[in-house]
Amino acid sequence: MAVIVNKEECIGCSACISACPFGAMVMEADKACITDACTVCGACVDTCPVNAITKESEQAAVKIDKAEYKDVWVFIEQIDGQVKNVSHELLGEGRKLADAMGEQLAGVIIGDEVEALSKEVFASGADKVYLVEASELKNYSTDGYTTVFAGLINTYKPSVILIGATNDGRDLGPRVACRVGTGLTADCTNLGIDEQTGLVAWTRPAFGGNIMATILCPEHRPQMGTVRPKVFKRPEQDFSKSGEIIRVASKVKGQGIRTRLLELVKVCTTSCNLEEAEIIVSGGRGMGKPENFRLIEELADVLGGVVGASRAVVDAGWKPHYHQVGQTGKTVGPKVYFACGISGAIQHVAGMSSSDIIIAINKDADAPIFKVADYGIIGDVAEVLPALIEEFKKAKAC
């Protein structure tokens, strides 16, 4: 899409200059001109008294043959030679979409010496793998991976692309979408097929999590979205399955990557790997003060779990953000989730409701957390947590 000034119609009144919120309009030879700062917001279009400024219609800008676009792709995120769980989860969901659309499922693996990961990808349901290997692609880089991914899309034209809403996925998805001229629905919590159009229905929370919006991408291809880890269950793997590997040469040159990885610093080890954890003990403002978090840590330790936190706790500086569970934190799906002194606000529940078993401890019997809890303990965390720790310690010693 673009904004266009019809120079013959422009009367040089300058109304559009002050109307533009981005300072993207300038006057040249008494005619309005649009600079690179234009965001196509359309404010100038509405202001022009002689209709000399128009938005190029979306239909005109899109000159793609949608019938050419086929197959569902999943970006296979890997680190240290391991496929991330979220990629398996998306292969499981991608399989369902591909079957419903009568198309194939492909995994896109980018890296260095990563061909062995194809077996994992086929076992999780893919029919094909697009494999791009080069030493420059060993570690994720925005420039390198965007160039490779966009090149694959332009050549092989997939209909749908799923990317994990991880740090790298959130960086890559919008870049690639912009490069190939399509949209992207970020942070989806559900996927389906719209019955009327046959398009992918991307569902995500909107307006602070108060409503769920379902978004379609009718005019552009591919249809793209990011999905948070743990929203979908990892599929059962079948290692008897195999498929076609399509090797594609990388055109990325070292100088095309503007960033250099100097060092990897792990600020967070298994103790805060919430997305992979089977047991999470989370604390909220009801813990009273940061020192009381030692009870949360002790219970997590006894159970071999990890520590989570509500946003209130993170905002208060009691815990770093990477412990936060919820809409603006992490989406988790452990076997057991303890919510201690957490009220159960919708934004917190959005990040933990898919846990298998939820155990809530709260002194307020009417706290909303009890509506989603499988087990509820009405009481003071200062009394309940030490008692639980002691009992679990005894049980472990038996």
Ligand X SMILES: Cc1cc2nc3c(=O)[nH]c(=O)nc-3n(C[C@H](O)[C@H](O)[C@H](O)COP(=O)(O)OP(=O)(O)OC[C@H]3O[C@@H](n4cnc5c(N)ncnc54)[C@H](O)[C@@H]3O)c2cc1C
Identify which range of 4-12, 108-116, 295-303, 357-365 contacts ligand X by CB under 6 A: 357-365
Dihedral sign for Cα atoms in the order 341, 347, 351, 355? positive
CB closer to ligand X, 6 vs 328: 328
How far apart are the C-alpha atoms of 330 and 67, rounded to whole Å? 37
367-386 footprint of ligand X as x/- string (CB under 6 A): x------------xxx----
Do 87 and 118 touch, CB atoms closer than 8 A? no
Residue recorded with tokens 């919590």: 189
Identify which range of 82-90, 108-116, 167-175, 338-346 contacts ligand X by CB under 6 A: 338-346
Find the binder of ligand X among 113, 238, 364, 391 (CB under 6 A): 364
Find the binder of ligand X among 6, 47, 347, 353 (CB under 6 A): 347
CA gyration radius for the chain? 25
**299 counts as binding ligand X under rule CB under 6 A:** no
DSSP string, 224-244: EEEE-TTSSPPPPP-TT---E
**286 counts as binding ligand X under rule CB under 6 A:** yes
Q: What would the two tokens of residue 80 be?
A: 């240290």
CB closer to ligand X, 174 vs 368: 368
**284 counts as binding ligand X under rule CB under 6 A:** yes
Tell me whether strands 357-362 and 375-378 are parallel, antiparallel or unpaired.
parallel
**141 counts as binding ligand X under rule CB under 6 A:** no
Find the binder of ligand X among 342, 358, 359, 360 (CB under 6 A): 342
Q: How far is the CB of 372 from ligand X (least distance, A)?
A: 13
Residues 194-223 that bind ligand X (CB under 6 A): 208
Non-local CB neighbours of 25 within 8 Å, separated by 6+ positions: 16, 17, 19, 32, 33, 34, 35, 38, 44
Q: How far is the CB of 305 from ligand X (least distance, A)?
A: 18
Non-local CB neighbours of 365 within 8 Å, separated by 6+ positions: 378
Which residues are near ligand X by CB under 6 A? 208, 284-286, 288, 310-313, 324-329, 341-343, 345, 347-348, 351, 361-364, 367, 380-382
